[in-house]
Amino acid sequence: MEITILGIESSCDDTSAAVIRDGVLLSNVIASQAVHAEYGGVIPELASRAHGQNIVPVVDAALKRAGVTPEQVDGIAVTRGPGLLGSLLVGVSFAKGFAIAQNTPLMEVNHLQGHILAHFVTRPDDPNKPKPKFPFLCLLVSGGNSQIVLVRDYLDMEIIGSTIDDAAGEAFDKCAKVMGLPYPGGPLIDKLAQEGDPKAFKFAKPTVGGFDYSFSGLKTSFLYFLRDHVAEEPDFIEQHKADLCASLQVTIIDILMNKLIKAAKQYDITEIALAGGVSANSGLRAALATAGEKYGWATYVPPINLTTDNAAMIAITGYYKYLREEFAGLDMAPAARAADL
């Protein structure tokens, strides 16, 4: 029997809907919100309003592109959290209404687990793309999260390392802001880094126990570094922007990879994956490939269009929950923090 799942993602500033049938992606529609760029970051109230405007046309487009009617949907999966509460509320409310109207099961999805399970979405244009084998380690890096996750099965995951303050994505964006780069800064740093010398400047790497991360100190030291040099040379940032980006990027990547290598050795696991928005970073992808060759890892990176917030990853997570009949009640409420899920 074919199982068709509609996925809804609205955790931050992207409204997305996707349709998956038996794990195969039929459509994945994303409406981004450009309004936040002029503010240098996401404004929660503006984000939730935009979700309210986008949710119906985005779902309608996803269903039409998939060639699926609402009556043919077997279950609806929605991001419960973590994320912006107002944004999550739009998606959860829509999903509940859809579930009632179509009398279909509702599945709540942890946004972070969705990023990891994006690896198991089968795309028609690349149906034979290898998927991670259990157990595997996943380095999950996004705007608000930096984690090392031990994945034993589709829905059996354990966080073995996490950031104690800023995440890697926040470090990229905040350092980009002090250099005068527009939001989001991470992709621009990646682009400029390819033109610079990663050895031009040396930045301190924080020391944190276990497999945890810390990027707050790096961000602060970068700010002081720029302040001191700009005081002596006012156009220092403009003159050295590419080298600054290259040196900053390699520092962040080294911090991420050092803990991942340590975890892989301790757990004796050679199946290693990346996930999350920062997994689109070209330097991080190259570093994973290099480590894979050195340590004999089988490495996996998601396609670029599945690294950002998207409903395909929500739909595939919902698919595995549907198979196990892990359904949510209509009293399910969105949760802004991962600890509340």
Q: Are 198 and 250 in contact (CB under 8 A)?
A: yes
- Does 111 carry a binding-site annotation? yes
Element (H, E) at 100: helix 85-102
Q: Are 20 and 7 in contact (CB under 8 A)?
A: yes
Residue 296 one-letter amino acid: G
Give CA–CA dist 294/303, Å, rounded: 23
Residue 202 one-letter amino acid: K
- Does 119 carry a binding-site annotation? no
Residue 211 zone, left/alpha/beta (φ > 0; ψ -120 to 50; rest):
alpha
- Does 208 carry a binding-site annotation? no
Structure tokens at 41: 């970051």
Element (H, E) at 172: helix 168-178
- Does 309 carry a binding-site annotation? yes
Closest CA to 71 of 79, 83, 63, 59: 63
- Does 173 carry a binding-site annotation? yes
- Does 36 carry a binding-site annotation? no
Angle, alpha carbons 130-188-16 (nearest 5°): 55
Question: Which is it for strands 4-9 and 106-110: parallel, antiparallel or unpaired?
Answer: unpaired
- Does 73 carry a binding-site annotation? no
- Does 14 carry a binding-site annotation? no
- Does 144 carry a binding-site annotation? yes
Question: Binding site residues, as ranges?
Answer: 111, 115, 140-144, 173, 186, 190, 281, 309
Question: Binding site residues for substrate, as ranges?
Answer: 140-144, 173, 186, 190, 281
Question: Binding site residues for Fe cation, as ranges?
Answer: 111, 115, 309
